[in-house]
Amino acid sequence: MTAAPTAGGTVLADHLTRLAGALPPLREAEHLLARWGGELAYRLAGGGRLLVAGNGGSAAEAQHLTAELVGKLRDDRQPLSAIALHAETSALTAIANDYGYDEAFARQVRAHGRPDDHLLLLSTSGTSTNLLTAAHAAHDTGLRCWALTGPAPNPLADLCHERLAVDSPDAQVVQELHLVAVHVLCEYVDRALPAALAARAPAGPVRTGVEVVLGDPAPEVQTR
């Protein structure tokens, strides 16, 4: 999937040329990333979680995303629940050993995922069987499934509810622009988070417990 260098160009110049060629189509994805960021902010503010997975370089990009959400992108804020399934090395190797590598992520999706949580899968090719199996598990469990892939159509893009497909034949360029998409997505999460938290806040003070009202021969017990 990696493009051959252009004759006569340097390695860096060729790489930047391929990267620049894939940038204009990515600009069209901003409305999608903005919507994803808003949706994710409301889900995470409400106690939901984001599960992510990928293989190789895509695993690194996915783990970068969870680091930004559990930590922070730029400004301080509350931590948000995001789990990189490929980073659970003991679970990953145990599942792969007992059930096969195709089940390495799917079994974790079934373990950790709750209805209306989100699963984000990253793949340059969109053909990795363990990611396709995880997407099927997401559908079975009731998770919303998104994908970051290379050129579409591809099986993973078709299987997920929504996808952002980077239109480049070069896997390196695809991974680099997935990182750009990760940063933009996190920026939109942070922008939407204050409104999401405000929407989840109780409308007024909540009183709980038992209140005893004195001053009467037979004290009245009122629940609040």
Backbone angles phi, psi at 27, to 5 degrees: -60, -30
Structure pTM?
0.86
Query: Helical H runs in 28-88?
Result: 30-45, 57-70
Instruction: Output the six-digit token pair for 150.
Output: 């290379």
Rounded Cα distance between 177 and 106, Å, is: 26
- What tens digit of pLDDT does each residue of 161-204 get? 999 999 999 999 999 999 999 999 999 999 999 999 999 877 55
Q: Which residue, 153, 152, 168, 159, is CA-closest to 131? A: 159
Per-residue confidence (pLDDT) for residue 200, from 0 to 100: 85
Residue 154: closest CA among 171, 177, 172: 171
Q: Are 65 and 219 in contact (CB under 8 A)?
A: no
Q: Which 3 state secondary structure label does DSSP give 118? A: strand
Q: Which residue's structure tokens are 């004290």?
A: 219
Residues 168-196: b if buried by 16+ CB within 10 A, e if exposed: bebbbbbbbbbbbbbbbbbbbbbebbeeb
Residue 215, SS3?
coil
At 116, the pLDDT band (50, 70, 90 cuts) reads confident
65-74, 120-129, 164-173, 194-203: lowest mean pLDDT where? 194-203
Q: What is the pLDDT of residues 11-57, one digit of tens each?
A: 999 999 999 999 999 999 999 999 999 999 999 999 999 999 999 99
Reported in sequence order, the residue ranges of 57-169 that DSSP labels E, i.e. its strands, are 82-84, 118-123, 144-149, 162-165
**Strand (E) positions, the chain?**
50-54, 82-84, 118-123, 144-149, 162-165, 210-213, 220-223
Q: Cis peptide leading into 153, omega within 30 of 0?
A: yes
Cα angle 169, 188, 149 (rounded to 5 degrees) comes to: 20
